[in-house]
């Protein structure tokens, strides 16, 4: 059977060009949709990153606040330690000399006496007289039995005649410890203070956390 195409050639070309135009529009729409989707995805990623940055900034702000509180606690604790130390020094200066002089009076033997007592930079010098060397040795031994007198040393001993009696003139030096505490006690107190400070700081850290 013979078919005859009655549509003119020019009209057929026009119809064919319309199809290509429609395909081009679909392609453009697809590209546009892809661009919009990509842009939306990118904006979502940017928003997520911004949210994470905001969260990190909030955490940093909290940590800075905790750090500030810890520093404030350390400063207050240091100030408290300085106040306690100052009070202890004042107490030693108030009561220390009384205990020192009381101990000195108790340590002087019956056959000895002190003519001069001086103190400089926590070092005491005692000038006195005694019947003999044994009495001087006994005096030094008694001084060492008190915690207020440390490193007791005999600097001078010589014979001096008083009312025709050959007495012993002596000079004794000793380091004064007004607190009356031994070095072991001082170390123990220091260790206990350090332990308490660590515990307080740990508790402050737990509370801030």
Say what percent of the chain tops pLDDT 90: 29
Which uninterrupted H or E stretch holds 170? strand 165-176
Q: Is 71 contained in some domain?
A: no
> Which tens digits make up the pLDDT trace of 171-192?
999 999 887 765 445 545 555 6
Q: How many residues are present in the chain?
A: 209
Q: Is 80 contained in some domain?
A: no
Answer whether 107's CB lies under 8 Å from 145's CB. yes
Instruction: Provide the b/e sequence for 54-70 (b: ≥16 CB within 10 Å).
Output: eeeeeeeeeeeeeeeee
Tally of domains in the chain: 1
Q: Is 150 contained in some domain?
A: yes
Instruction: Provide the b/e sequence for 108-129 (b: ≥16 CB within 10 Å).
Output: bbeebebeeeeeeeeebebebb
Query: Does residue 156 surpass a pLDDT of 60?
Result: yes
Residue 200, number of CB atoms within 10 A of its CB:
15
Q: Is 148 contained in some domain?
A: yes
Q: What is the CATH number of the domain that holds 115?
A: 3.30.1360.100
> Which tens digits make up the pLDDT trace of 102-113?
899 999 999 999
Banded model confidence at residue 137, pLDDT cuts 50, 70, 90 = very high
- pTM across the whole model: 0.46
Q: Which domain holds residue 123?
A: 108-178
């Amino acid at each position: 059977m013979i078919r005859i195409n009655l549509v003119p050639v020019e009209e057929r070309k026009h119809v064919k060009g319309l199809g290509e135009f429609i395909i081009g529009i679909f392609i453009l729409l697809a590209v546009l949709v892809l661009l919009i989707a990509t842009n939306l995805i990118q904006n979502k990623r940017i928003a997520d990153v911004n949210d994470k940055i905001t969260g990190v900034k909030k955490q940093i702000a909290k940590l800075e606040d905790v750090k500030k509180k810890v520093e404030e606690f350390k400063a207050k604790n240091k100030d408290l330690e300085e106040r306690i130390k100052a009070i202890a020094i004042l107490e030693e200066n108030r009561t220390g000399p009384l205990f020192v002089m009381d101990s000195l009076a108790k340590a002087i033997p019956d056959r000895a006496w002190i003519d001069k007592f001086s103190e400089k930079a926590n070092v005491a010098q005692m000038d006195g007289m005694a019947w003999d060397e044994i009495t001087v040795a006994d005096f030094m031994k008694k001084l060492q039995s008190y915690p207020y007198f440390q490193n007791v040393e005999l600097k001078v001993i010589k014979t001096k005649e008083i009312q025709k009696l050959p007495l012993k003139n002596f000079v004794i030096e000793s380091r004064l410890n007004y607190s009356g505490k031994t070095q072991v006690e001082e170390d123990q107190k220091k260790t206990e203070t350090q332990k308490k400070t660590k515990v307080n700081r740990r508790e402050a850290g737990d509370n801030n956390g």
